[in-house]
Every structure is written in C-alpha cells, then in structure tokens.
Amino acid sequence: MGAVILGTGSCLPEKILSNHDLGKIVDTNDEWILSRTGISTRRISGQGEATYQLGAAAARKAMEMAEVTVEEIDLIIVATMSAHMLMPSCACFIQKELGAVNAFAYDVNAACSGFLFALDNGDKFLRVEKGKKILIIGTETLSSRTNWEDRNTCILFGDGAGAVVAEYQDNERGVIASNLLSDGTLWNLLYMHTAPSCNPDLQLADNPGSHILMEGREVFKYAVKAMEGAIRDLLSRENVDMDSIDLMIPHQANIRILRKLVSRLGVKEEKVFINVQKYGNTSAASVPIALDEANREGRFKRGDLLLVCSFGGGFTWGASLLRW
Ligand code: ACO
C-alpha cells in the first residue's frame, strides 16, 4: 500500500533533569510543572550526544530491528529544528556517522510536526521508487535552543531521537494516508530566531539569538483544535471511524493538550500512547520515540491501525494513518 515500517529505534541522552532540578534554575516547582504539563523529567544532551549523534544511534537500532544493513539505505530524511549546523544538513552528518554510502540525505523542518512531514515525504518517495529502503529520523537537542532563564518555556522541552526504516510493500500494510497542514500567518506564536545575520542590512533589531519563544496559551488552544480537525478530516476522507483505531500515538507536547484532544475525539485513554512524563516535548523526535517505545512494549501488532498526529511551530500540524 505505502511505506511499511520494518524497524524502529530511539536514543535518549543519559542525563535526566527532574522538575526538582529545574526548581534550582528558575522560579518553579514540581507541583506546578506536573499539574500544568504532566512532565516529570526530561533528558539533556552532553558530550557525544549532538543532534546527529542521537539521530544516528536511533537509526542503528531501527536498522538492527529491521535487519537492514546501512549499505541498503537509499535515502535518509531527518526532521529537526535543532540541527548541528545550518549547513550541511543534519541528515548529511548522520549519513557520514552511519557510513550510508549509497544514500542521499536531506532535512525537513516543520518544527514539532517534522516527523509526520518527513514520513509523508518518505511514503511518497517509496510509492514511486519501489524496491528502495529509507531511514526517517526525528532528532532534537532543544536544550541548546532553550532560554534557561525563561520558566515559561524551559520546563517543557527535552532532547532525544527516534528513527524508522521503511520500504514499499504491495499489500495492505503501511502508511494509508496523511493530512498535513500549515498556517504561516501564526508564526509569531511559537518561533526561534537564527543567529544574528552577518549582513548589517539584514540584521533584525530584536533578534535575541536561537531561543524558543512562545505564547503558551494561544499555542495550547490552536494545538487542540488543529489536531482534532486534521484527524477528523483524515478519518472521514479514508472512511475510517475512531473506534477502528487500535492505538493513537500523538506528539508528546503536554498531557493537558493530549487529554483535551482525546476527550474531544472520544478516544479511550487506554488507546493512546503517552510518555511525555519521562521526556517532555522532544519536538520532531517525540512521535518516533513514542512509536519505538510502543513497538518494543508490544502495544500494537501486525495488522493494527495506528493514528499519529502532531502540532508545532509554523504553525504546522497533521495526522497520518498506518496499517502496521
Ligand atoms: N513555574 C511556576 N509558575 C509559572 C511557570 C513555571 N514554570 N510558568 C509560568 N508560570 C506562572 C505565570 O507567570 C503565571 O503567573 P501569574 O498568574 O502570576 O502571571 C501563571 O503561572 C499562569 O501562567 P500561564 O502561562 O497562564 O499558565 P498556563 O496555565 O497557560 O500554562 C503552559 C502554561 C504550560 C505553557 C501552557 O500554556 C501550555 O501548555 N501551552 C502549550 C505550549 C506547548 O505545548 N508548547 C510546545 C510547543 S507546541 C507543541 O508542541 C504542541
């Protein structure tokens, strides 16, 4: 049918930062963070855990599960908004790290929705280039883009990577369809500057450096509405009812966003995979990390219908349906 996922992998940095630890950095506490976000801990990268290194480690695990060698990989798509460098792409660094000599590689930046956008890119590539094998990776080190003096944002994010190996199969399995959307007019509700320009004519007077800036309440409102709309449209287009979904794997932003979304959709909580309490919001990495954990925990089996959804800066958002 479409891109069939042959293997999943993830990699989380070793260092765990708890809410209690955060209380020593900014004026906050465990009770506030837990009740507003559902997050208890997040992982923070250190030496040897750059964005591309986490991504490569996740990819190795996915290839091991898929029993695919690195020489068999034809394409590497990486979703990230915290690449090691602006140029070359994170995907090229991962290609070098893995020794993927037969692949071409590029990045996708759709903020927290990046993995869904990359999955859709990969799915469409495979439907044309049947017989190829690809790596799709979401990897982030948002700790490097967080303003550690801003308690509104620094409590939310974490680092990590997730990856999948996919190929086209002519059967009922794989990505069924995706519904992806964006609205650039809302860019200023959630954004991150680049480094200040070297060309004085292009300098932005208010560029504070590469920090995430956010209007939290607005983001919350849009996130719930947008994901609900994308899911409903996708399911109605594909003639699938909510009860047929075996497991929903949403972007792990915030437990309150997820609870609201799930209750508006009428999905039972036991059908929703949640790990935001452990890793916080890992942006483009959150869906593939969750997919890998759910897979390794045996939360779904061959033939199950999975629904993934996401929302992020841009704004970007969407949903995908997969037959495992
Ligand atoms: N610790 C203690 N108090 C805090 C903290 C903190 N970390 N942060 C804010 N506060 C205070 C505020 O200063 C404010 O105090 P005041 O009433 O004296 O002014 C009070 O808490 C309430 O602040 P609000 O911002 O109104 O709190 P809210 O209930 O909206 O929760 C939050 C904030 C958690 C950011 C919420 O708006 C949210 O989850 N938004 C979604 C953001 C998100 O998920 N972004 C990720 C990227 S997009 C995505 O992935 C979907």
Neighbours of 176 (CB within 10 A): 18
- Candidates 109, 121, 179, 251; catalytic one: 251
Return the CATH number of the domain spanning residue range 2-172.
3.40.47.10
- What's the CA gap between 190 and 110, in Å, rounded? 12
**281 an active-site residue?**
yes
The whole-model pTM stands at 0.97
* Paired strand residues for 11: 161
Task: Report which protein residue has its CA nearest ligand 1's atom 7.
Answer: 151
From first to last of the 324 residues of the chain, give the pLDDT tens digit: 899 999 999 999 999 999 999 999 999 999 999 999 999 999 999 999 999 999 999 999 999 999 999 999 999 999 999 998 999 999 999 999 999 999 999 999 999 999 999 999 999 999 999 999 999 999 999 999 999 999 999 999 999 999 999 999 999 999 999 999 999 999 999 999 988 888 988 888 888 788 999 999 999 999 999 999 999 999 999 999 999 999 999 999 999 999 999 999 999 989 999 999 999 999 999 999 999 999 999 999 999 999 999 999 999 999 999 999
Question: Where do the domains of the chain lie?
Answer: 2-172, 175-323
Quick one: which atom of ligand 1 is closest to the CA of 212? 47
CATH topology of domain 175-323: Peroxisomal Thiolase; Chain A, domain 1 (3.40.47)
Q: Is the dihedral of CA 311, 225, 210, 198 positive or negative?
A: positive
254 Cβ below 6 A of ligand 1: yes
Tokens representing 273? 């995979």
50 Cβ below 6 A of ligand 1: no
Ligand 1 pocket test, pick from 18, 24, 220 with the greatest ligand atom count within 8 Å of Cβ, gives: 220
112 Cβ below 6 A of ligand 1: yes
Identify the residue whose tokens are 């020489």. Answer: 71
258 Cβ below 6 A of ligand 1: no
Quick one: which atom of ligand 1 is closest to the CA of 283? 50
Task: Report which protein residue has its CA nearest ligand 1's atom 32.
Answer: 216
Tell me the pairing of strands 247-250 and 305-312.
parallel
**Predicted pLDDT at 17:** 98
Looking at this protein, which amino acid is placed at residue 81? M
**Alpha helices of the chain — where are they, by DSSP H?**
19-22, 30-37, 51-66, 90-98, 114-128, 216-237, 255-265, 276-279, 286-296
Task: Report which protein residue has its CA nearest ligand 1's atom 9.
Answer: 152
- Candidates 112, 211, 254, 295; catalytic one: 112
310 Cβ below 6 A of ligand 1: no
**198 an active-site residue?**
no
Identify the residue whose tokens are 């033939």. Answer: 303
**Do residues 182 and 226 make contact, with C-beta atoms less than 8 angstroms apart?**
no
Tell me the pairing of strands 104-108 and 73-79.
parallel
The reply to whether domains 2-172 and 175-323 share a CATH topology is yes
Q: In terms of C-beta distances under 8 Å and separation of at least 24 residues, what long-range contacts does 97-100 make, across chains too?
A: 97/52, 97/53, 97/56, 98/56, 98/59, 98/60, 98/70, 98/73, 99/70, 100/70, 100/71, 100/73, 100/76, 100/135
Ligand 1 pocket test, pick from 21, 218, 254, 317 with the greatest ligand atom count within 8 Å of Cβ, gives: 254
**Do residues 10 and 61 make contact, with C-beta atoms less than 8 angstroms apart?**
yes
**Do residues 117 and 30 make contact, with C-beta atoms less than 8 angstroms apart?**
no
285 Cβ below 6 A of ligand 1: no
Given its phi and psi angles, is residue 237 left (phi above 0), alpha (psi -120 to 50 degrees) or beta? alpha
Quick one: which atom of ligand 1 is closest to the CA of 152? 8
214 Cβ below 6 A of ligand 1: yes
**Predicted pLDDT at 205:** 81
